[in-house]
Structure formats: C-alpha cells, structure tokens
Structure 1
C-alpha cells in the first residue's frame, strides 16, 4: 500500500509517496513529472523488501517551489532536505532523465549518503552539450491561448515521444505538467549543469539504464559509460521517454537486479 506525506524543511513543504519497509530507495522523476512517474514501480520495490520513496522535486507535484532560475544544485538541496526530514542517513538513489542529473549531483556532493546509484535515461552534459542546448526552443512551454489551445499543444509536443496506443501515459504527463511551478525550469537547469566536472566525484556503485526508443537520452548512453567506466549497464528494449511508467515491471526488475538483497535484520 502506498502512503503520502509532507515534510517541513528549510525549502518549504516537500511531498513524497512511499511503500514498504526495509532499506530505503529514493526515486527522482523527470521534468515536469512528479512522484506519479513511479506509481507502479513503488509497490514492486516494496514487495522485494525495500522502503520505496518517490519525492516531488522542488517546484513539481505538490512540493514547494525553488528559487527562480533553479539549478540542479537547488534540486539536490531538496533531496537531502527530504532525507534529513525522514531521518535517512543513507539511501539507494534512482533518477530518471532530470532526476538522474539531480542524482549525480547528490552522489557527487554527499557521497556518504548514497549507497547505490541508478541513472536511468540520464543525459550526458559537457561544454558541447551545453552549447547545443543553449539556443534550443522550449520543450514543453508555450504561450497561453484564450481558447485553451495551449493545452492541446502540450499534449502534441510530447505525443511523438510516447508509445502509440498509450494515451493514459500522456494524460499522466499532462496532469503533472499543469501542476508544475514551471514547465521549463528543470530543462534549463539540466542545460546549464556542468556534469563533466561532477561525475569524477561519484563514488557509489552505479547502474546505467538505457531505453532504446528514447531519442533524447539513449544517444548519450555510451558517453555516460565512458565517463563512469565501472558502471553496470542495462538496455530496456522498446523503452521510451516515459520508461518508469511505460514499463514499470521491467524498470523495477533492472533496479532490483542491481540493488543488494535486503537481509533479515534490515527487514525487521
């Protein structure tokens, strides 16, 4: 059973969903999603003996907004604020897309707080990537229309990157997008992040998950492997941009295949 809660922090109220008991696994979503991205993953991880927690990153879902022009570092501050509020010194950390970039920063800045690290469809960001993204038009945002046409445009902007015949996934995306404090702040934060300077500081054992039908991130998988040569790697065939909610069983199996099996003392 999944439960929901708020944690008061110096950054405002942070919202999360959790299921199960045991070693903690914290899951970070992509922009502009929420904990709902992991709705179907949480009970699978819980059933395997983990306390699975999916937070709403600052400014998304039901969490308080970060400062204007938020950075990846701002989002990472929210992660550790939630850990502190929940009394968690150390967790397994899982991030998808933007959540993977935030997870890199958390693992680099607070290596003693991350046991194992899972980076799903995480873009590789260096000077070349930042330059390429600098002039890119907005991914999700657009001008408001008096007749509400911008709502259909939000759907249409993402439709090509979602599997055919799964309007339910797009509906979940749109619900989250409408709740976000900004549709683009997360994307802009990713585009400014100096990942190549932070990856050498990552000490956690790492798994890279690639989704071969994800045109945004799959092209960066080999560069991530080169930057993290000791990392394990799994490719999920047919997985796209919405991988965790598109293929929750396969996604959870990849994560569970990498995490250490909880022992009896941890489950007590």
Structure 2
C-alpha cells in the first residue's frame, strides 16, 4: 500500500494543477449569445438634377435572435452630392439602451448624437467600393441624472459585388462586406471594430432587402481597481442583420443613376 502512496500524491498534484490551468484559461468574457439588428430606412439619394438628399431610419436590436429587445435608434440627416463620387452629410440621432428584463422601467442610457460625414465611392467595373469618414459628437444621459459627452471618429471600407448584373439596379443580387473602425480621442483610442458580411436583393429602384451577419467588438482600457490590475477587456457579439430600404426618387430625376445600397448605421 505504501508503494502506491507516492503515485497517488503525484496524480493528485497533477489533477490540481490541471484544474488551476483550466481555470486560468477560462476567458474573462465568455462568448455571448447571438443577437439581431432589424433596420428600416427611408432614403432620398441625390441625383444629377437635384443634388440634395436625406434619410430617416429606425433600428431595433435584440440580445437574442429576434427576441429580448433592449435597444433602439432613431436617426435622420440631409446630404449633398458634390459629384457622382463625393457626398457630404449632416445627421443626428437618438439611441436608447434598456434592460430587456425590465423595459417598463425605461432606458438605462439615452444617447444623442450629431455627426458630419464624407463618403467617397469608387466604381471599378463590377466591383464597387465605398470609403466613409465620420466625425461624431455624442451626449449621454444615464438613469440617475448623470451625464457625459464624448467624441468619436469612424472609418468604414465597404465593398459591393453585383452577381447577375454589372451594376446594382432592378432585380440585382449582390454581396456586401465591410469593416469599420471606431476611434476615441479620449481612449481607448481603438474603441470598436465592426465586421459585416451579407447578401442583398434590389427588387426595384425603390425597395432593397439585405440579410447578413455582423460582429461588433468593443475594447476597454486596462484599469486598476482596489489595488488590482484589470487588463484590457474585449467583448464581441455576433448578430443577424435584416435591413429593408425604401428609396425615394426625385421627381425631376430623368437619367438613371447607380446608387450603392449602403447601410446608414
């Protein structure tokens, strides 16, 4: 019996060590459940005859796929086409975050946002590329009467590929992918990254449907709390995106113009 004792002790030590390693490898932020973004947009693009345009949009987000609603956005803006490839926009919105378990208590946080935006489009034969630059001013009002302000810079690189036509026009199936970075001058400088991939169908010059996937990763600065160092935390969430756009045409628009089916978010 005594000759088995060292082996028993060794096995116990190895098991204990393995348990500690497994515990240490447990991520601080375990993977989150999939959510969903539901987006409805009314869009008035500019035309060669009338360069002014605008949009209005409502968006709802859920913590699980199509249920556990907790977040909404209301946005609108005006745009002006400098030419076919350059568009500037001034827009604003209201963003409310709630606890899906207690919606009757009202929002936990309401953000109001104003932004200036420049969009550059490139039409490379079949491939279409959009560069979007945005400067945001943000105002926060938290439950409990606290408030704050923040600025943010955003850049999005978006590519579109029509599959059954050379241009994105009526009855066109297309693919869309983008990556967008969010920069915060106050830190963390690299605040967020958003990656999207999806497919869409333009039924007519008015109606466009897109369905896709988006992964949104948020980054927080490392901090020291109660004498303990907490490293940078990254929280990422996958979402199903369903977007419907109703495009309004200018009455005086006569020449057909290809417009990229960009999402306004």
TM-score using structure 2 length? 0.28
- Higher RCO (CA 8 Å, separation ≥ 6 residues): 1
Larger radius of gyration: 2
